[in-house]
Structure 1
Amino acid sequence: MAVWALGINHTTAPLDLRGRFAFALDQVGPTLRGLRASYSRQPEAALISTCNRTEIYCAGEQVELEHTLDWLAQAGGVSPTLLRTHSYALQDGFAARHAFRVASGLDSMVLGEPQILGQIKDAVRAAEAEGALGTTLSQLFQRSFAVAKEVRTSTEIGAHSISMAAAAVRLAGQLFEDLAEVKILFVGAGEMIELCATHFAAKNPKSIAIANRTLERGEKLATRFGGEVMRLADLPDRLHEFDAVVSCTASTLPIIGLGAVERAIKRRKHRPMFMVDLAVPRDIEVEVKALEDIYLYTVDDLAGVVQTAQASRQAAVAQAEAIVDAGVQSFLHWVDQRGSVPLIQQLNAQADEWRLSEITRARKLLARGDDVDAVLEALSKGLTQKMLHGAMAELRAGDSEARDRASAAIQHFFLRKER
């Protein structure tokens, strides 16, 4: 069974290209359905899509990376040549190693961050619900979870990590003298916004507001932080009220446009506004970054901030990589063993057939009153003759070279001494 992976991430592709391949969790099932239907023989498949990566994992009788790349390029509306330039393609052990490193936070923008593991588990559940996950990929991901857990508990890989949320707070602190005087608007109500709101709330800002498409979810988050909730539709008219805006929604199009920000800056009389766009695709139009008095940061802009303290984690990284290596070797050994399963099943079936045949004959002999010892002797001889018949035939047939090969194999399997 072959395993392959194709992906793009924050190190290989710019944000706008990654945005073309961003799939919400509820899109994963239909996307996998379309991918698998495009093959003549449907492979096992899983799709992982986060703000920093989109990856397809497949398992089948043979590697079909080119087909996977062509399909993904079409899905994202780009040429295969462009996608090939910004993607990575991995097979077998290299694909397994990558999956284990991703799950362990070793391939993240924030080294050692734990959120990716939950995102992978969500993707695996979605693939299972679609019926796209078979034995091989199930083993791959279950083993990746085990490796990630060992890395988390056995090393300090995440002890000094700076999350995207903490990085946003740090940058805001560089712009504003006192975050306690800052009014903050969070756009969206998902996990990342909740994390950001938690970090900013620790600085006791002047006020917190949550803008979300559904008020119910927004109210829940706003209540937790003592803030107010507002509709997304009201955002353009109220944008000027806020000194800082952090946005992360699942929208496929920008929800904060250039015109709205220009009007907000005018009404603010050009007081600076700090903006963080953590969404992929973008929530805030790219042209906003060129405006005076606007300090806009994307997930890629935060890369330099989150890499601080990396040197102090190098020993932990080496230890984590060793755990990953062991996990990869274990998985590859399991895959190799899987290749022998059909032969093992055939051997067991043949042995059972011989056994049942001899037992049936022995029972008939016992039923007519034959001596028990004689019946047992006949049964044992019958079994051994059936088991050795093929080997004996090989030693008597064929040319000299074939007999020599048969002799070596027979000595190895039948005449080796027990250790």
Structure 2
Amino acid sequence: MSVDVITFGLNHTSAPLAVRERVSLTGDLLRPALDGLRAAFGGAVREAAILSTCNRTEIYCAAEPQAARQLPIWLAEHQRISADDLHPHLYRHDQDDAVRHAFRVASGLDSMVLGEPQILGQMKEAVRTADDAGSLGTLLHQLFQRTFAVAKEVRSQTAIGEQSVSMAAAAVRLAERVFGDLTQVKVLFIGAGEMIDLCATHFAAQHPQRVTVANRTLARAETLSTRISGDTMKLSDLPERLADYDVVVSCTASSLPILGLGMVERATRQRRRKPIVMVDLAVPRDIEAEVARLDDVYLYCVDDLGRLVQSATDARKAAVVQAEAIIETRVQHFMHWLGTREMVPVIRDLHQAAGAIRAAELDRARKMLARGESPEAVLEQLAHGLTQKYLHGPLAALNQSEGEHREQLLAWLPRLYPLRER
């Protein structure tokens, strides 16, 4: 059965944060999801990779069309979400549209922040995870290698990533709206991944009074805190020490909130109405949404930062046209490769059939030589036999055809055989 390249999922434009966090498959959830996907569909889903970030959860696969239609149902069941709640937010791309989508995502054209570079690293990590899980094959491996090459080409030949306002820079801007000068504020980072690393770098450039990194693994927290001249904290110390900080930026892979309403409420009482800025970049969210109702707490989620950075994208929109042109060319190249790949079984069968004819005629020639027949007669018979079998297929097709079908065969024969000009 034929296999299609398919991408389906949801992102920041198709689904609100409340839905995205219910579908998120980050961290330790990714490998079990890949195993579950393959177990559910068996050979019908030949290859698969899952990209899950704060802005999107997408499944890239090489699958039979019937299986592809069932993938949304599988995702809803796997994530324990109603199919009716999930379906309105899903999109699906097939074949060249799926390839085009992968190229655009990796190039930063489908991001909340136009041209942001983090998505490429996230996609590479998703591919490594799929490879480790044994769910990549020739088709998706080729797709992603070309995807990474296209992203590099777009970034090197266009201005799509220049002067981009990142989520990290936006977080600093939000803190400045509340506190103005940040040199007297104390900043707490929860997590030690790539996004926290970026945020810490941006905040450190403002020379805050104190910077602390809290993480489940202290070794990773110490690596980051050393680079930004900060200190570390155990996650278990958060309830007692949260009130010490003016800005809290959190981005972990936790499936449950780390900062609940009660903990933050106690911290605000201890701060005696001094404001606190909380930036939650995690999906699922690290900070309970109800925290936003508290007085003197300024809570921002990833979608809030996305809206802030959109205002800085106009200067780069001219580069989008050039980037789209590059992507379109590379899509056509990939589809040509895919079409060539689909012909491989046919070419192999042709070679096998020709080999069988060759073997049969050689065996016949050897038997004639063994009977003492002259080599010249044997060669003549060998050439005659090969010629007859070589012409049998097209001659039989011509004799059995008529009308438009015969005209099509007559038009194709000069391309397949070196016929003399008539």
- Once the two structures are TM-superposed, the CA of residue 341 in structure 1 deviates from its matched residue by 1.6
Partners of 1:394 and 1:177 lie apart in 2 by 83
- Once the two structures are TM-superposed, the CA of residue 328 in structure 1 deviates from its matched residue by 1.5
Partners of 2:126 and 2:333 lie apart in 1 by 23
Aligned partner letter, 1:6: F
Query: Contact between 1:112 and 1:157, CA under 8 Å: does it hold in 2?
Result: yes
The residue that corresponds to 2:29 in the other structure is: 27
Query: Contact between 2:44 and 2:64, CA under 8 Å: does it hold in 1?
Result: no
The residue that corresponds to 2:241 in the other structure is: 238
- Once the two structures are TM-superposed, the CA of residue 135 in structure 1 deviates from its matched residue by 2.1
The residue that corresponds to 1:308 in the other structure is: 311
The residue that corresponds to 2:83 in the other structure is: 80
Query: Contact between 1:21 and 1:76, CA under 8 Å: does it hold in 2?
Result: yes
The residue that corresponds to 2:156 in the other structure is: 153
Query: Contact between 2:113 and 2:313, CA under 8 Å: does it hold in 1?
Result: no
Q: TM-score, normalised by structure 2?
A: 0.92
The residue that corresponds to 1:248 in the other structure is: 251
The residue that corresponds to 1:198 in the other structure is: 201
Partners of 2:239 and 2:401 lie apart in 1 by 87
**341, 345, 350: which one pairs with 2:344?**
341
The residue that corresponds to 2:286 in the other structure is: 283
Map 1:393-404 onto structure 2 (within 5 A): 393-397=396-400
Partners of 1:62 and 1:405 lie apart in 2 by 31
Partners of 1:395 and 1:20 lie apart in 2 by 61
Map 1:46-195 onto structure 2 (within 5 A): 46-195=49-198
- Once the two structures are TM-superposed, the CA of residue 83 in structure 1 deviates from its matched residue by 0.9
Map 1:383-394 onto structure 2 (within 5 A): 383-394=386-397
Change (3 A) 1:7 1:357: same
Query: Contact between 2:171 and 2:305, CA under 8 Å: does it hold in 1?
Result: yes
- Once the two structures are TM-superposed, the CA of residue 40 in structure 1 deviates from its matched residue by 5.7
The residue that corresponds to 2:297 in the other structure is: 294
Partners of 2:213 and 2:119 lie apart in 1 by 24
- Once the two structures are TM-superposed, the CA of residue 204 in structure 1 deviates from its matched residue by 0.9
Name the stretch that deviates more: 351-360 or 179-188: 351-360
Query: Contact between 2:41 and 2:67, CA under 8 Å: does it hold in 1?
Result: no
Once the two structures are superposed, residues 301-324 of structure 1 have per-residue CA deviations (whole angstroms, 9 ceiling, x without a partner) of 011221233121112111111111
Partners of 2:190 and 2:382 lie apart in 1 by 79
The residue that corresponds to 1:350 in the other structure is: 353
Name the stretch that deviates more: 185-194 or 360-369: 360-369
Structure 1 runs not aligned, ≥5 long: none
Change (3 A) 1:397 1:101: closer
Query: Contact between 2:160 and 2:319, CA under 8 Å: does it hold in 1?
Result: yes
Change (3 A) 1:65 1:314: same
Aligned partner letter, 2:296: D
The residue that corresponds to 1:8 in the other structure is: 10
Query: Contact between 1:45 and 1:56, CA under 8 Å: does it hold in 2?
Result: yes
Once the two structures are superposed, residues 183-236 of structure 1 have per-residue CA deviations (whole angstroms, 9 ceiling, x without a partner) of 111011111111111111111111111111122221221122121111111111
Aligned-partner SS, 1:235:
helix
Once the two structures are superposed, residues 14-55 of structure 1 have per-residue CA deviations (whole angstroms, 9 ceiling, x without a partner) of 112111111123322221121122226431211111111000
Aligned-partner SS, 2:41:
coil
Structure 2 runs not aligned, ≥5 long: none
Aligned partner letter, 1:25: G
Aligned-partner SS, 2:206:
coil
Aligned residues: 418
Partners of 1:137 and 1:209 lie apart in 2 by 41
Query: Contact between 1:4 and 1:90, CA under 8 Å: does it hold in 2?
Result: yes
